[in-house]
Chains A and B, each alone.
Chain A
Amino acid sequence: MRHATTVPQKLYKVLIYVVCIILALLSIFPFWVMVVNATRNTYQIQANAVSLIPSSYLANNWKVLVGKSFNPLKGFINSMIISTCSTILTVYFSSLTAYGLVAYDWRLRQPFFSFIMAIMMIPAQVTSIGFYQFMYRINMTNNFLPLILPAVAAPTTVFFMRQYLLGTLNIDIINSGRIDGAGEFHIFNRIILPIMKPAIATQAIFSFVGSWNNLFMPMVLLTDSDKYTLPIMVSLLRGDFYKTEYGSIYLGLTLTVLPLFIIYFLLSKYIIAGVALGSVKE
């Protein structure tokens, strides 16, 4: 094979690396400024808003931040409850629905799958007015349930789980379970769920991150500041309260995304593999 590395070829390769490094810096820069400025005081930020070196005012910024009714711990707990519960519901019931679609031959199977494909594109936001009024009538605003329960019906996750099961499910495994006298639910819980672990892990990450980052629905439904999720708390950082407390604003922003950064850098390999997998739609 020909491997002519002429001068323009080499230059082109250098250009590729330069572009990639610039893009990488572009990904890091805003977050770097955020984290570093979280440790600096207003005076330092006013003197020079970009610095690569952290300073020592972290504790001070924390005091100012918490002193103005910003309660990151509360928001963290609220977001955690909602995201964890809805993630569990999403992965369990999506696996169950997908299993029902793959393992059994029932008359409405194909229509039901087409239906799931059709509703995949409908965003929850366009139905928010009716959703809010419905919840208001049954006294469920300022309650986490309306943010958690809808997670049972997650069409994109069902779609992904179905694709995964089609590739991995072996009918013999189900049959051997049946011969042992296991019921269908037992087979699903004890045999199928463990098989689906890799798919469940990826979908759990995406479901969790999606729920954690959600702003629209919580903002519509939650008005009691004790129930605020982290993204709602972030929106408070824009208020006049923090006008010149730059360090505190940056600290508040940093706190809200810290869990995401930790998750991301621990699991980035799986997350990126999951994006790639989820995209290969037949």
Chain B
Amino acid sequence: MRRRKGISYAKYGYIFSIPFILVYLIFSLYPTLFTAVIGFTDFKGIGRTDFNFLDNPFQNFILILKNPSFQKSLGNTVLIWTLNFIPQILLALLLTAWFTSNRRKIRGQGIFKVLFYMPNIITAATIAILFSSLFGYPIGPINSLFQKLGLSKEPIYFLMNKSVARGIVAFIQFWMWYGYTMIVFIAGVLGINPELFEAAEIDGASSRQTFFRVTLPNIRTIMLFTLVTSLVGGLNMFDIPKLFQNGGPDNSTLTAAVFIYNQAFAGSYLYNRAAAASMIMFIIILICSATIFFILRDKDAVLQRKLEKKHKKALRKAEKEARRATV
């Protein structure tokens, strides 16, 4: 007789995970290792499949790190990301404070959210070309607008100006992402225990105090998570700078991802250099996200330990008192 109760279903856990693991190994892990290997070889030129390891295995990495275009692209990536992230997070926080305030009921929130988030789902490639058309010279909507509003007499060649081009790329990123960040923050605020807000209100805290003392500390985790995802996304910024001005003018919007693409899939097809640059980016991304996660986890763990200690102390005290009372 078979005993029904004794059946172990554990093996299905493994079986159900097989497709994921298999596909991950083939399409992600193997290409990652392969990229790393190519970084140490002389592999370049279209249509070739043979390569040899270099005598100095780190030659590509050294050349890339010394390459002024790569250095510039790294600088641009960080600069453009920062220029987009700081205003993005500030605006998202401001909107979150407005939309979650109990005292000021803002009407039409639904429609505002829909419109603020909209640019995020539109194809980045389309947005890049659209903005380069909007800022067209000598004829373009922004130039028309400037002349109509009397801001300029002559058409302005916006895209030839390095800072302006960089600013526009940062603006596009900001414009595409602040709505997302806002929705995420609002969800975070709505997840906070309402008792905290009630307590603050009873204590007579102003809206501002409530926001800085209750709301902000409680969405810290979500803010850090947003920071990590935005940073990783920002370090891979490709579609917008590639299609907006293809890294120009004068490499001012060249990001690391565009640099890698141009090394590998254009010009002289330097797969080995591109692979080395990819691995450098990979390591930078790993360090960034690990650092942020470490800071995040450490703080929470420390807090937890403190709370536990307090709790134990309180328990011991209570026990002592209880014993005294019985004696």
Question: Which of A56-64, A196-204, A245-253 lines the interface with chain B?
Answer: A245-253
Instruction: Check if A112 is an interface residue, CB within 8 A of chain B.
Output: yes
Main SS class of interface, A: helix
Give the docked Cα–Cα distance between A274 and B104 (Å): 26
Q: Which B residues from 133 to 181 make CB contacts under 8 A with A?
A: 133-134, 136, 139-141, 143-145, 148, 175, 179-180
A250 touches B133 (CB 8 A): yes
Q: List the A side residues contacting B15 at CB < 8 Å.
A: 100, 184
A33 and B134 form a contact (CB under 8 A):
yes
- Measured between C-beta atoms, what is the minimum distance from B168 to chain A in Å? 12
Interface members, chain B 200-240 (any A CB < 8 Å): 221-222, 225, 228-229, 232-233, 236, 238-239
Contacting pair B187 A257 (CB below 8 A)? no
B-chain residues with CB within 8 Å of residue A146 when the two chains form the complex: 27
| A152 lies within 8 A of B16 (CB) | no
Complex CA–CA separation, A18 to B98 (angstroms): 13
A104–B10 CB distance below 8 A: yes
- Determine if A24 is an interface residue (Cβ-Cβ < 8 Å): yes
Question: Per-residue 0/1 for A132-146: is the Cβ within 8 Å of any B Cβ (1 yes, 0 no)?
Answer: 111011000000001
**Hey, what's the 0/1 contact readout for A9-34 against B, CB within 8 Å counting as 1?**
10011001100100110111011011
Answer yes or no: B188 CB below 8 A from chain A CBs: yes
Out of A121, A132, A280, which one reaches B228, CB within 8 Å?
Answer: A121
Q: Which residues of B contact A100 (CB under 8 A)?
A: 12-17
CB nearest neighbor in B for A136: B49
CB atoms of B141 and A33 under 8 A apart: yes
Residue A191 CB within 8 A of the other chain: no
Is B12 in contact with A260, judged by CB distance below 8 angstroms?
A: no
Q: Is the CB of A107 within 8 A of B129?
A: no
Do the beta carbons of B130 and A34 come within 8 Å of each other? yes
Cα-based distance from A97 to B17 in the complex (angstroms): 5
Picked from B27, B31, B103, B145, the residue with its CB within 8 Å of the CB of A149 is B27
Residue count of chain B within 8 Å CB distance of chain A:
100
* A102-119 interface with B by 8 A CB criterion: 103-109, 112, 119
| A123 pairs with B232, CB closer than 8 A | yes
B243 and A238: CB pair below 8 A? yes
User: Which residues of B pack against A, CB within 8 Å?
Assistant: 9-17, 19-21, 23-24, 27-28, 30-38, 43, 49, 95, 98, 103-104, 106, 108, 110-119, 121-127, 129-134, 136, 139-141, 143-145, 148, 175, 179-180, 183-184, 186-188, 190-191, 221-222, 225, 228-229, 232-233, 236, 238-239, 242-243, 257, 260-261, 264-265, 271, 274-275, 278-279, 281-282, 285, 289
Q: List 22 A-B contacts (CB under 8 A).
A: A3-B103, A24-B111, A33-B134, A48-B144, A50-B148, A94-B20, A96-B20, A100-B14, A105-B13, A119-B28, A122-B28, A129-B264, A130-B32, A213-B122, A215-B242, A231-B123, A231-B126, A234-B129, A256-B125, A276-B183, A277-B187, A279-B183
A-B contacts besides A106-B13, A126-B35, A235-B243, 11 pairs, CB < 8 Å: A46-B139, A125-B257, A134-B30, A136-B49, A149-B27, A153-B20, A213-B121, A271-B117, A275-B183, A276-B183, A276-B190
